[in-house]
């Protein structure tokens, strides 16, 4: 009958669409749920007129925890499953670097969690700033180093080994110490402490940042400075010190590499859900940051939805990077509009 035909068409259309969600400022503020986020995910997880699941991945510039515990935490907060196979955080694609660098300095995050992240990615020898302070506390003159920190660190004689690359994984908890240590390495001879490079460029070890956001929405009433701000500060200091620009690589949204990675994750998640390894034609990205989510999604040919629950506080649409599908009060409105358009 006609009703059945319409139903079949709708199921077909539903199988040809998918969502990519930003997390901070769209689904949560810090650890606090944005209530419309739960409803939006309930709908995509089957609470819809067709009773079918609509694939979605999470593409966040967040960082600082291994994927598994972070997904467990998000599952709790969102009241909906967040599987590691549908989840990409800023440093996830950086696991590919493990085959190129043996000894790396990993910067950022709480305690020693980013060491854990890097080790899970397969990095063989992961150094964190505390290991260096434990070896030589005079390197960070303003740092109070506790006994507990000392007990958990892994000092060695860093004047006798080279660091192959610097990986900033997450927000620095101590700008003064982290910038000092990074700077020491950048001006050293091939990443060896207690040396000074004769040529600042050819002897400089590479530095990678997991994401470039200037601001991050949190529980605070206005967004907080994020890793991009840390990088800009470091770049300015490096230039003042050496007279040359710091070459660096940035991951995360809106970088192309991250969207390519998201494509792969989306393709295999489609297979998990619909049994066919094929990208849907209609991908909707829901984000709150025009300079990261929206510009990246636009460049990548996705339908972009900008929400008003995070970084964006402007008028009708963002002036520099307008969302091509529209601006919405929250993620639920965006999801409903996308479903209405496609089904």
- Chain residues in the site for Mg ion (CB under 5 A): 22, 24-25, 288-289, 310
Interacting residues of 243 by C-beta distance below 8 A, sequence separation 6+? 200
313 vs 329: CA distance, rounded Å? 11
80 in contact with ligand G3P (CB under 6 A): no
Would you give the DSSP letter of residue 37? H
Question: Could you give the string, one character per residue 213-232, with x where binding to ligand G3P holds by CB under 6 A and - elsewhere?
Answer: x--x---------x------
For residue 174, the partner it binds in Mg ion, ligand G3P, none, with Cβ less than 5 to 8 A by kind, is none
Closer CB to Mg ion, residue 131 or residue 333? 333
67 in contact with ligand G3P (CB under 6 A): no
Peptide bond into 300 cis (omega under 30): no
Closer CB to ligand G3P, residue 158 or residue 300? 300
H helices of the chain, in order, are 2-14, 35-44, 67-78, 113-120, 129-135, 147-152, 175-186, 227-242, 256-274, 295-299, 331-342
Q: Within positions 45 to 64, which residues make up the interface with ligand G3P, using CB under 6 A?
A: 60-62
- Other Cβ atoms less than 10 A from the Cβ of 119: the count is 15
321 in contact with ligand G3P (CB under 6 A): no
For residue 44, the partner it binds in ligand G3P, Mg ion, none, with Cβ less than 5 to 8 A by kind, is none
Q: Within positions 14 to 33, which residues make up the interface with ligand G3P, using CB under 6 A?
A: 22-25
Closer CB to ligand G3P, residue 216 or residue 327? 216
Closer CB to ligand G3P, residue 149 or residue 235? 235
290 in contact with ligand G3P (CB under 6 A): no
**289 is written with which tokens?**
């940051």
Closer CB to ligand G3P, residue 1 or residue 313? 313
Interacting residues of 9 by C-beta distance below 8 A, sequence separation 6+? none
291 CA to centre of own chain: 14
153 vs 165: CA distance, rounded Å? 19
């Amino acid at each position: 009958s006609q009703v059945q035909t319409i139903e079949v068409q709708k199921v077909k259309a539903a199988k040809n669409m998918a969502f990519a969600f930003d997390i901070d400022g769209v689904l949560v503020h810090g650890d606090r749920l944005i209530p419309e986020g739960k409803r939006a995910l309930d709908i995509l997880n089957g609470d819809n007129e067709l009773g079918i699941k609509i694939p979605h991945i999470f593409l966040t510039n967040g960082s600082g925890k291994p994927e598994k515990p972070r997904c467990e935490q998000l599952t709790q907060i969102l009241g909906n499953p967040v599987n590691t196979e549908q989840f990409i955080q800023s440093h996830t694609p950086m696991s590919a670097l493990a085959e190129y660098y043996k000894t790396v300095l990993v910067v950022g995050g709480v305690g020693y969690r980013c060491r854990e992240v890097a080790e899970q990615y397969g990095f063989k020898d992961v150094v964190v700033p505390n290991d260096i302070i434990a070896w030589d506390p005079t390197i960070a003159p303003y740092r109070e180093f506790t006994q507990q920190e000392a007990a958990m660190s892994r000092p060695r004689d860093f004047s006798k080994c080279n660091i192959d690359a610097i990986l900033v994984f997450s927000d620095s908890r101590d700008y003064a110490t982290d910038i000092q240590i990074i700077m020491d390495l950048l001006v050293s001879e091939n990443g060896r402490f207690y040396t000074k490079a004769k040529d600042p460029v050819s002897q400089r070890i590479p530095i990678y940042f997991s994401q470039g956001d200037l601001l991050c929405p949190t529980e605070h009433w206005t967004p907080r400075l994020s890793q991009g701000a840390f990088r800009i500060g470091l770049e300015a200091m490096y230039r003042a010190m050496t007279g040359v620009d710091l070459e660096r690589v940035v991951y995360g949204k809106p970088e192309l590499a991250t969207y390519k990675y998201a494509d792969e994750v989306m393709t295999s998640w489609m297979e998990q859900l619909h049994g066919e390894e094929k990208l849907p034609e209609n991908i909707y990205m829901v984000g709150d940051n025009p300079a990261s989510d929206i510009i990246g999604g636009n460049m990548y040919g996705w339908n972009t939805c900008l929400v008003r629950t995070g970084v964006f506080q402007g008028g009708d649409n963002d002036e520099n990077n307008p969302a091509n599908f529209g601006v919405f009060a929250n993620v639920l409105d965006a999801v409903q509009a996308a479903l209405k358009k496609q089904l």
